[in-house]
Amino acid sequence: MSASRALLIVCDGLGDRPIEALGGRTPLQSAFKPNLDRLARHGISGTMDPIAPGIRPGSGPAHLAIFGYDPFRYYTGRGIFEALGVGMEVRKGDVVFRFNFATIDEERRVIDRRAGRIREGTRELVQSLNDIRIPGVEVLFKEGIEHRGILAIRAPRLGWRVSDTDPQKEGLKILPCRPLDATEESQRTAEIINDIVDQAIKILEAHPINKARKAKGEHPANAILIRGGSYYEEVSGLQERFGLKGACVAGGTLYKGVARFVGMEVLEVKGATGTYDTDFRAKFEAAARALEDHNFVFLHFKAPDLAGEDGDALRKLEVIERIDRAILGIEELRDTLIVVTGDHSTPCSIKTHSADPVPILLSGPGIRVDGTQSFDEVAASRGGLGRIRGLDLMPILTDLLNLAAKFGA
Amino acid sequence: MSASRALLIVCDGLGDRPIEALGGRTPLQSAFKPNLDRLARHGISGTMDPIAPGIRPGSGPAHLAIFGYDPFRYYTGRGIFEALGVGMEVRKGDVVFRFNFATIDEERRVIDRRAGRIREGTRELVQSLNDIRIPGVEVLFKEGIEHRGILAIRAPRLGWRVSDTDPQKEGLKILPCRPLDATEESQRTAEIINDIVDQAIKILEAHPINKARKAKGEHPANAILIRGGSYYEEVSGLQERFGLKGACVAGGTLYKGVARFVGMEVLEVKGATGTYDTDFRAKFEAAARALEDHNFVFLHFKAPDLAGEDGDALRKLEVIERIDRAILGIEELRDTLIVVTGDHSTPCSIKTHSADPVPILLSGPGIRVDGTQSFDEVAASRGGLGRIRGLDLMPILTDLLNLAAKFGA
C-alpha cells in the first residue's frame, strides 16, 4: 500500500521571481506543462528552503541537503564533488581543487580565464602536469570537460581552507594561495599550491601544444587557475542511512559527483550533456528503467538554471516545457513516489542563485492530495506540505516508502 | 480577554492517508463530526510534526514533545513511563523495563508472548518474583495490565542502554540482554537482567498458579520477556516550566506515565480503559470538571490508533464519530483554549505509525479564526497555523493563556 520506490526529479535553478514581460508571472507559472500540473493535482505541494530560509544555496550544498546530508557538516568545497563526478579515484584526506586552463601574460595577468575555451590537447597538457614534483606530496591531475580539470594533493596533515588562485576576472593577476585559517595544515597546503602553480606555468609555457596554439594565433593554455579547495572523507551512503539503493541520471559532473559521494550508482546516458542540448527524453527513460533495480532514482535537469543565469525568461519557460514533455507517461510508473523540485531558485531578473524557496510536489501512493491545481511557485506556497527544508525531504520520502524506523515506542 | 485555561485533546494515531474504500478520503475526512468541524470553523488549523518532518514518532516521544519536553533529551525508553503510569514509586537513577509474562518451552523458545493473555493471578506471580536476589541490587516488580508488568533495578551506577530479551516473535528463543554501548554501567545492567531472567524462570516454573494453568491446558506464565530499558530522572514540571497546573484524563498507562513525568495530576476516571470500549463521554466530562481547578487538562483518546493499527478504516471513522459525540457542548467551556490534535498518524494502509503530520486546531478566546471549514488532514494543511512542530505547541499555548514571558525588552 506504500510506494516501493521513489523518483526524485531536480530541475536545477527552477524557482524564479515575477517577470514583467510574462505579465508578472514566473516562467514556471507561464509554461504549458500539463504533465507537471497533473502530478500536482494528484499530489501534495509545498515550498522548500534547500538549506534554510534566506540562505542562497550553491548547487553542491543544496543537493547534499536534499539527499539528507547536512551541508554545514559535509560541504567543504566544490572540488571534491567535481573529482568524484569525473570518476577520479580519491582517498580519505585528499585535498581536492578544480582548475581552469587559462592564458596569462608575462606578468601573470589573466588574459583569458578559459584559454580560448580550449578543447583539443587538454589530455596531453594534463599529463605533462603530472611531472610536477613536490617532496613528500603526491600531486594528481585529471582532465575534466573543456578547459576544466581536477587537482588533488595527497600527503599527511593537509588543510583545505585555502584561498583560490583564480582572480575570477580577466586583467587581474593570478592570486597567491593563502591559508584561510591559522593552522599549520592550511599554511602547508597554500605553499604546495603556490609551488604547483609556478611549476605548471613553466611546464605549460614550454609545451608543444601551446607553441602550436600561439603559432595559430590561439590563446595558449599557459597557466592553471585553482579554486574550490575541499577535503574528501568517506560517508555512510544512502543505503546505510535510509535503505535506499540509489541511481543518478545527470549530465553535469557536480551532480554526478554529489550522487557518487552519497553512494548512488551514476548511470551514463547517451545524450545527457548537462546543457540546453541534452536529450531530456532519454534521461527520463533511463531513470524509469533504473527504477527496475533501484528504489531511489535521482534525475537531474540543468537547463532551467542555465536559462536563469542567462537572464532568459523565455528560454527558461521553453526548457520547462521540454522537461514536461520528456516526462510524458510518468504517472504510469507503478508503486512509485514521484518528487519534483529544484535545488534553488535562479531568478532571470538577477541571473544568479537566490534564496527564494523552490516549489516541490510529491505524488504517488499514500499521498494526501491537497487540491493544488498547478505546479508553480505560488500554487505550491499554498499547498498542504507547507514550507519544509531540504534536509526534511529524505526522512519524509523514506517514511512514505515505509523504510523509516520509529523513534521510541 | 485571554483564555485562562486550556484543554488539550489528543486523539492517538489520528492522522491517516487516503483510503480507496472511502473514495480517496481519510477516516477523519469521511467522519460525521459536527463538533470538531465547528471548533475548526471557530478556530485556527494547521499541521504538526510531533517530532520533526519525516520522523515516525513513538507515542512516548510524541507526547513528551507535545508537552514541551524535547524527546531527544528526555526519552530513554518506554519502561519508565509505563512504571509511572501504573503508579510505581521510582527514584532518580532507577533503570526501568517493561515486561510481559510469556510461555516458553524447555529450550527457552517463546510459545506465547502473552502467556495466553493471562489476567488472573498475575499479582501473586509478580509477588513471587520479588524473591529474586541479586547482591547489591534492589529488584522491584510491579504488575501492570493483563500480562504486562514493570521491573525496576536500583543500584549505584547502572546503565540503561541494553537490548531487549523479548524476541518479539513466537518460535524464537529468549534473547540474552546485551549492552548497547561500551560502558561498564550498561555491561553491569545486562548481567543483572540476564540473572533476573534465569531466576524468574525457576520461580515461575514452580509456581502453583502455573501448575494449575498447565493442569487446565492453559499456557503457563513461566517466563518474563523484558524490553524498553530506560532511566529515571526527575525533571522540572509543567508548573515550573510553563505555569500550568495540569491534570490528565487517559486510559492507557503510557499516557498517564508521561503525564506524571511532567508533573500532571493523573485522574482516575471510571470507564476509561484506553481501548475501544472506553467511556468517551465520562472522560470528556471528567476533563471538563478538572478545568475547574487546573489551568491545563490533557484528555487522551487511544481508540483511533488501535483502529489504525488494525487497518480498520471504518472502525477508525466510527471512533472519531464517537469522540465527536463525546465532546458535545465543548464550546460552552468558558475562557478555555481548546486544542485538538494527534500524537502521530497511524495510517490504516500501513497499520503502524507514520511521519505524516497530524492535523491540529486551536479554538477559543484570542484565536485568529482562519476560515477553515473542517477538521481533517487536508483542510488543516491549508490552515492559518501553518506547519508547526510538537515542541512549538506549549509555547504557543502558554502565550495564548498570557502566561508567557517576553524575551528581552
pLDDT in tens, B103-148: 999 999 999 999 999 999 999 999 999 999 999 999 999 999 889 9
- What dihedral do alpha carbons B319, B320, B326, B327 form, nearest 10°? 160
Contacts of A12 (CB under 8 A, 6+ apart): A59, A252, A255, A300, A301, A302, A303, A304, A305, A342, A343, A344, A346
A406 touches chain B (CB under 8 A): yes
d(C-alpha A89, C-alpha A83), whole Å: 8
d(C-alpha B354, C-alpha B54), whole Å: 8
Give the pLDDT score at A145: 86
Q: For B56, which of A382, A394, A407 is closest by C-beta distance?
A: A407
Q: For B53, which of A44, A392, A409 is closest by C-beta distance?
A: A392
Pick the CATH number of B87-231 from 3.30.200, 1.10.357, 3.30.70, 3.40.50: 3.30.70
- Are B247 and B294 in contact by the 8 Å Cβ rule? The answer is yes
A5-69+236-400: what fold? Alkaline Phosphatase, subunit A (3.40.720)
d(C-alpha A93, C-alpha B395), whole Å: 45
Mean pLDDT (chain B) is 97
Give the pLDDT score at A1: 73
Contacts of A408 in chain B (CB under 8 A): 57-58, 60-61, 71, 75, 77-78
Q: Is the confidence at residue B78, as pLDDT, over 80?
A: yes
Across the interface, do A407 and B57 touch by the CB < 8 Å criterion?
yes
> What stretches in chain A show pLDDT beneath 70?
none
Q: For B350, which of A383, A402, A409 is closest by C-beta distance?
A: A402
H/E stretch holding B149: strand B148-154
Q: Is the confidence at residue B397, as pLDDT, over 80?
A: yes
C-alpha distances out from residue A248 to A85, A254, A271, A392, B136, Å: 11, 12, 15, 20, 58
d(C-alpha B307, C-alpha B318), whole Å: 9
| Confidence band, pLDDT 50/70/90 cuts, at residue B274 | confident
Give the pLDDT score at A286: 98
Closest-CA residue of chain A to B51: A407
Give the pLDDT score at B145: 86
Query: Could you tell me the pTM of the whole model?
Result: 0.93
B5-69+235-400: what fold? Alkaline Phosphatase, subunit A (3.40.720)
Give the Cβ contact number of residue A381 at 10 Å. 15
pLDDT in tens, B301-314: 999 999 999 999 99
d(C-alpha A293, C-alpha A97), whole Å: 34
CA atoms within 13 A on the CB side of B316: 33
- Are A104 and A111 in contact by the 8 Å Cβ rule? The answer is yes
The amino acid occupying position A97 is: F
Question: Of the candidates A135, A131, A183, which has an alpha carbon nearest to the alpha carbon of residue A158?
Answer: A183
Collapsing DSSP to helix, strand or coil, B80 comes out as helix
Average pLDDT over residues B229-255: 96
Grid coordinates standing for A19?
517577470
B5-69+235-400 and B87-231 share one fold: no
- How big is the A-B interface in CB pairs under 8 Å? 100
Which residues in chain A (384-403) have CB-CB distances under 8 A to chain B? 384-389, 392-399, 402
d(C-alpha B7, C-alpha A4), whole Å: 40
Closest-CA residue of chain A to B383: A384
C-alpha distances out from residue A216 to A117, A119, B139, Å: 15, 15, 91
Q: Is the confidence at residue B195, as pLDDT, over 80?
A: yes
B78 touches chain A (CB under 8 A): yes
Contacts of A52 in chain B (CB under 8 A): none
- What dihedral do alpha carbons A108, A112, A113, A119 form, nearest 10°? -120
Domain boundaries, chain A: 5-69+236-400, 83-231
Average pLDDT over residues B272-289: 95
Give the pLDDT score at B155: 96
Q: Is the confidence at residue B352, as pLDDT, over 80?
A: yes
| Confidence band, pLDDT 50/70/90 cuts, at residue B79 | very high
A1 touches chain B (CB under 8 A): yes
A404 touches chain B (CB under 8 A): yes
Burial per residue of B59-77, b for 16 or more beta-carbon CB atoms within 10 angstroms, e otherwise: bbbbbbbbbbbebeebbbb
A116 touches chain B (CB under 8 A): no
Q: Which residue has the cell 593554455?
A: A221
B228 touches chain A (CB under 8 A): yes
